Amino acid sequence: MQDVPSISVAIIGSGGAGALTTGDILLEAASAAGWQGLATRTLGPQIRGGEAAALLRIATHPVECMPERYDLVIGIDWLNAQRFGAEILAGPESLVIGDADAGEPPPILRDGGARVLNIELKELAAGIPGGRPNMIALGVAARLLGFAPEQIDVVIEKRLAEKGESAIEASRAGIRAGYRAASWIDYTCKLAPPPAIEGKRWLLSGNEATGLGAIRGGIRFAAAYPITPATEILEWMSPSLVKAGGILLQAEDELAAINMIIGASYGGTPSLTATSGPGLSLMIEALGLSTAAEIPVVVIDVMRGGPSTGIPTKSEQTDLNIAIYGMHGDAPHLVLAPQSVADCLFTTQWATYLAETLQSPAIVLSDQFMGQARAAIPRPADVAFIGARAVTREIGGTYKRYAATANGVSPMALPGTRGGQHTAEGLTHTEHGTPTSSAEEHVKQLDKRRDKLDGHNYGDHWATVEGDGDLVVLTWGSITGAAREAIAQARGEGIAARLVAPRLLSPVRPKEMQAALVGAKRILIVEQSHSAQFHRYLRAHYELPAEVQVFSRSGPLPITAAEIKNAMLQGS
């Protein structure tokens, strides 16, 4: 047996076969045992039925991306498995296990030279009262990954507690049957034991991490309009906000949602909404209002394939343009992008802090990949970013809501404050907030709103800058994890490369970027966009002092570390 630091598993079945549950249980067991991991789900557009697969990677180290080929592919059945196409691949080292009674694995899984084995999942399940083939598959996976059956039992007992002892017993028996059936397989890899850890592992999705980051950052009001793949943020926040003394209000549409949070924030409550591309398109006009009236709000955009309805269940990095340039007029505002499930927490918390401090809207560009992925991670560190809005409580003399100050931030009088009455205004206004079309006043307020954002000290959080080498991989968002892994792999082959991934996309940081790129000979830009939106953005705002190579392609398939490494090698 050989101890390996990471193993990847794909569990496939038609809808209702229990593939997704099997994956959830495996990740939970791995996390309870101290491993780290990442799990994504892929399924057809049907609400019920169709094809479903749980994709997992479990490791002794942090996991932020999925592999190109899965070590272990288990088909509870293969009914619609061919629909996954290139999304789930197996290679010569892979092991593909299925039930011959439930059909053949699709050619795409066999053609890579994988070893294909048969286990009678259905027949074994039939031998157990209340037995289900997916529990047999779970036992098989547990055995091959090196879990003891008891490690799975713990999770089963927790998850099936409400279903009663007989359901738990049927699952326990199923797991053991699968375990025995897999015991004769000469699978030579075994996960290396997890390192000792302090405290408990966390298991959460990027969307849940986003919700927690928001509440930690001070958000106490959310307006909600459901949209895939952002809904889980709002569903997690709904009871959590109430516990934290906040409120969630369901809106009639995204136009209402964004205006509701502007209203709540005007009243002094840090506020958020979460949406995806189509919703962001509808919110843009009011985001301009939030910029002009200087009302802080946080809008989470969990990006999905576009344009139009696009591919709601798959990831893409193609809302960069609308997030940065969507508003009419000159409307400087904050745009940030988390880089992993764990970073969804930090970046959302930071975005809330920045929005409140700078009295500006902040758009947070998450995406379907990290939003809906579940990760087993160490407990994210507490950070000190808690929204602190400049509020004036004592008004002496005439109050100027939009007073020109040294840093451009004007203390806000909240409704209820005597003497602070003013009208928050979307028209070009004077320092008092009175509408005007004077050129001088117009420029004064444009300058103020630009300067307050540009002049802020964002510290080191503006970007991830790691490693050295004259090759720079310049990327953003959820691709950062795959890029980091590609760089680690390339290092094994003697190539030193640097990772630069801005977390703060607007306002741009030319000086900091220049420092991050010092000494670069070649810059490889990596992004998930058909029209290379990030490349064009970089060209518009930054000096790129080296040869530039672009690896940019659309979704829906995730960009893998292998692809990035190939691009790194190609240019060298």
Partner 1 sequence: MQCPAPVYKQADFKSDVKPIWCPGCGDYHVLLSFTRAFAQLKLAPEEIAVISGIGCSSRIPAYTNCYGFHGVHGRSLALAAGLKVTRPDLTVVVASGDGDGYSIGGNHFLHACRRNIDMTYVVMDNHIYGMTKGQPSPTTEPEFDTALSPGGTGVRPFHPLVVALASGANFIARCFSGNPNETANVLAEAIRHPGFSFVEILSPCVTFRPDESKWKEQVHAAPVAATTDPGKAARRLMTDDGFNLGILYRGDRKPFQPASGASGYDLAQLERDFEQ
Near partner 1 by CB under 8 A: residue from 136, 168, 262, 505: 262
Q: Does 200 bind partner 1 (CB under 8 A)?
A: yes
Pairing of strands 115-118, 95-98: parallel
Binding of residue 245 to partner 1 (CB under 8 A): yes
| 11, 109, 181, 293: residue in contact with partner 1 (rule CB under 8 A) | 293
Stretch binding partner 1 (CB under 8 A), from 71-79, 96-104, 282-290, 481-489: 282-290
Chain Cα centroid distance, residue 70: 22
User: Are 246 and 219 a contacting pair, CB within 8 Å?
Assistant: yes
Q: Which of the ranges 24-32, 58-66, 110-118, 164-172 carries the binding residues for partner 1, by CB under 8 A?
A: 24-32
Cβ proximity to partner 1, 264 vs 564, nearer residue: 264
3-state SS class at 202: strand
Are 170 and 131 in contact, with CB atoms under 8 Å apart?
A: yes
Residue tagged 């209402």 (tokens) = 256
Alpha-carbon distance values, 404 to 407, 442, 497 (Å): 8, 12, 45
Rule CB under 8 A: say whether 255 interacts with partner 1. yes
The CA R_g of the chain, rounded to the nearest whole Å, is 26
Residue closer to partner 1 (CB basis): 182 or 215:
215
CB of 395 to partner 1, least distance (A): 10
Buried b (16+ CB within 10 A) or exposed e, 389-404: beebeeeeeebbbbee
Which position among 240, 321, 405, 566 is part of the footprint of partner 1 (CB under 8 A)? 240
Cβ proximity of 435 and 429 under 8 Å: yes
Compute the least distance from the CB of residue 155 to partner 1, in Å. 9
Contact between 268 and partner 1 by CB under 8 A: the answer reads: yes
Considering only 74, 280, 286, 300, the residue that binds partner 1 (CB under 8 A) is: 286
Q: Is 203 in the site for partner 1 (CB under 8 A)?
A: yes
Range 421-450, binding partner 1 (CB under 8 A)? 421-427, 433-435
Whether omega before 229 lies within 30 degrees of 0, making that bond cis, reads yes
Is 417 a binding residue for partner 1 by CB under 8 A? The answer is: yes
219 binds partner 1 (CB under 8 A): no
CA distances from 363 to 121, 175, 308, 450 (A): 47, 45, 19, 16
Query: Please, what is the minimum distance in Å from the beta carbon of residue 252 to partner 1?
Result: 4
Give the CB-side neighbour count of residue 96, counting CA atoms within 13 A: 25
Q: How many residues does the chain have?
A: 572
- At its nearest, how many Å lie between partner 1 and the CB of residue 415? 4
With CB under 8 A as the contact rule, which of the stretches 116-124, 194-202, 354-362, 451-459 interacts with partner 1?
A: 194-202
Q: Which of 192, 256, 446, 557 binds partner 1 (CB under 8 A)?
A: 256
Nearer of residues 35 and 476 to partner 1, judged by Cβ: 35
State yes or no: residue 347 binds partner 1 (CB under 8 A). Answer: no
Residues ≥6 apart with Cβ < 8 Å to 549: 522, 523, 524, 525, 567, 570, 571
Site for partner 1 (CB under 8 A): which residue of 21, 42, 80, 259?
259
What part of residues 26-85 is at the interface with partner 1 (CB under 8 A)?
28, 31-32
| Interatomic CA distance for residues 417 and 413, integer angstroms | 6
Looking at the Cβ atoms of 348 and 528, the one nearer to partner 1 is 348
Q: How far is the CB of 243 from partner 1 (least distance, A)?
A: 5
Smallest gap from Cβ 326 to partner 1, in A, equals: 14
95 binding partner 1? (CB under 8 A):
no
Torsion of CA 320, 322, 324, 328, to 10 degrees: 170
Cα(26)–Cα(468) distance, rounded to whole angstroms?
37
Alpha-carbon span 119 to 182, nearest angstrom = 8
CA atoms within 13 A on the CB side of 9: 33
Q: How many CB atoms lie within 10 A of CB 353?
A: 23
Query: Residue 306 interacts with partner 1 (CB under 8 A)?
Result: no
Rounded CA-CA distance 229/302 in Å is: 6
Contacting partner 1 (CB under 8 A), which of 104, 126, 379, 570? 379
Q: Please tell me whether residue 266 binds partner 1 under the rule CB under 8 A.
A: yes
| Residue 243 binds partner 1, judged by CB under 8 A | yes
Q: Nearest approach, Cβ of 208 to partner 1 (angstroms)?
A: 7
CB 206 within 8 A of CB 338: yes
Are 68 and 560 a contacting pair, CB within 8 Å? yes
Q: Does 247 bind partner 1 (CB under 8 A)?
A: yes
For 232, 284, 313, 372, the CA distances from 254, given in Å and listed in that order, are: 16, 10, 19, 21
Is 253 near partner 1 (CB under 8 A)? yes
Cα–Cα distance, 513 to 498 (Å, whole number) = 13
- Report the residue number, 78 or 225, with the smaller CB distance to partner 1: 225
Is 201 or 503 the residue whose CB approaches partner 1 more closely? 201
Residues at the site binding partner 1, with contacts judged by CB under 8 A: 28, 31-32, 200-204, 208, 212, 215-216, 220-221, 223, 236, 240, 242-249, 251-253, 255-257, 259-269, 271, 285-286, 288-289, 293, 376, 379, 415-427, 433-435
